[in-house]
């Protein structure tokens, strides 16, 4: 995949929002792990892909006007057999949408130590800023999130991770294993590098990233481009 080419094509067709599927493929391209994923439209293909990927799988409805997927029932987790896939497929196809629908079949990722939110937002004054936080109420309610202006160094990334109040959750809280901090550092550095190289990216939201004792995996992502001609 040529990232510049992909972003240029999107903008030329007046699209500024990459789908979850496209966003995660781009992340994979820069070396951020994602679950194996494939798109299908028919039920037969959905079942065939799931068997190829191997159970358990997750099915998600991909449609331009379905943004917060779980709010509308567009995410079906932990599907273990053909009957469950067929049922999940039927339910997903019933979700109201004006856009073209497809189904993303993806490998179900193992239970993490915790979910992380990693992202990028464009500040009017300072340009691209990287965000880091622990998913769920810590970010949503308590706004326990840290920012750094890109480009960042490894030192910045480590500091950014350590400064959130929820850091103990990553450091062996209540007998849980310690999270792989190096994997988070590498992910922040890769995103920093990406957004510096590609100024057309306006916003990135990796939500959630599953963090483990060894490694991490991004299970949902959204990349938004700048509208052509828009100033910062
Ligand atoms: P939403 O659009 O609502 O943010 P997500 O794609 O983030 O939808 O899915 C909702 C939740 O389902 C995630 O926060 C995560 O906990 C879980 N999830 C999504 N994809 C996977 C996956 N491939 N493996 C395991 N859990 C997943
Ligand atoms: Mg999500």
Is the CB–ligand 1 distance for residue 111 below 6 Å? no
Q: What percent of the chain has pLDDT over 90?
A: 90
Question: DSSP 3-state assignment of 122?
Answer: strand
Question: pTM (2 decimals)?
Answer: 0.96
- Number of H helices and number of E strands within the chain? 7, 11
Is the CB–ligand 1 distance for residue 59 below 6 Å? no
Q: Above 80 in pLDDT, residue 229?
A: no
Determine, yes or no, domain membership for 133: yes
Do 137 and 212 share a domain, yes or no?
A: yes
Residue 113: how many other CB atoms lie within 10 Å: 20
Listed residues 87, 107, 127: the one ending a domain: 107
Do 158 and 201 share a domain, yes or no?
A: yes
Q: Which two tokens stand for residue 159?
A: 């500091």
Distance CA 143, CA 155 (A): 23
What domain range is 164 assigned to? 3-33+111-225
- pLDDT, one tens digit per residue, over 144-184 is 999 999 999 999 999 999 999 999 999 999 889 999 999 99
Is the CB–ligand 1 distance for residue 77 below 6 Å? yes
Determine, yes or no, domain membership for 231: no
Contact 62, 103 (CB under 8 A): yes
Do 165 and 193 share a domain, yes or no?
A: yes
Count of the separate structural domains present in the chain: 2
Determine, yes or no, domain membership for 232: no
Do 100 and 65 share a domain, yes or no?
A: yes
Of all protein residues, whose CA lies closest to atom 20 belonging to ligand 1? 219
Choose one of 103, 220, 222 to mutate for the ligand 1 pocket test, by most ligand atoms within 8 angstroms of C-beta: 220
- pLDDT, one tens digit per residue, over 58-88 is 999 999 889 899 999 999 999 999 999 999 9
Do 140 and 219 share a domain, yes or no?
A: yes
Q: How far is the CA of 135 from the centre of ligand 2 (A)?
A: 10
Determine, yes or no, domain membership for 73: yes
Is the CB–ligand 1 distance for residue 58 below 6 Å? yes
Q: How far is the CA of 219 from the centre of ligand 1 (A)?
A: 6
CATH number of 122's domain? 3.30.470.20
- pLDDT, one tens digit per residue, over 107-137 is 999 999 999 999 999 999 999 999 999 998 8
């Amino acid at each position: 995949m040529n990232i510049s080419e992909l972003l240029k094509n999107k903008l030329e067709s007046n699209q500024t929002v990459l789908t979850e599927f496209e966003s995660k493929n781009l992340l994979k391209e820069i070396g951020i792990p994602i679950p194996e994923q494939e798109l299908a439209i028919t039920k037969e293909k959905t079942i065939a892909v799931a068997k190829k990927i191997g159970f358990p799988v997750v099915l998600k409805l991909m449609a331009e006007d379905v943004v917060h997927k779980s709010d509308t029932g567009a995410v079906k987790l932990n599907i273990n057999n053909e009957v469950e896939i067929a049922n999940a497929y039927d339910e997903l196809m019933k979700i109201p949408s004006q856009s073209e629908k497809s189904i993303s079949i993806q490998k179900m990722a193992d239970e993490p130590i915790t979910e992380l939110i990693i992202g990028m937002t464009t500040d009017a004054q300072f340009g691209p800023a990287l965000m880091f936080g622990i998913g769920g109420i810590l970010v949503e309610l308590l706004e326990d999130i840290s920012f750094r202006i890109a480009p960042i160094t490894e030192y910045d990334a480590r500091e950014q991770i350590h400064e959130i109040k929820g850091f103990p959750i990553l450091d062996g809280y209540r007998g849980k294993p310690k999270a792989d901090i190096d994997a988070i550092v590498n992910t922040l550095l890769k995103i920093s590098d990406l957004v510096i190289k590609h100024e057309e990216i306006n916003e990135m939201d990796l939500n959630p990233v599953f963090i483990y004792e060894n490694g991490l995996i991004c299970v949902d992502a959204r990349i938004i481009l700048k509208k052509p001609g828009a100033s910062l």
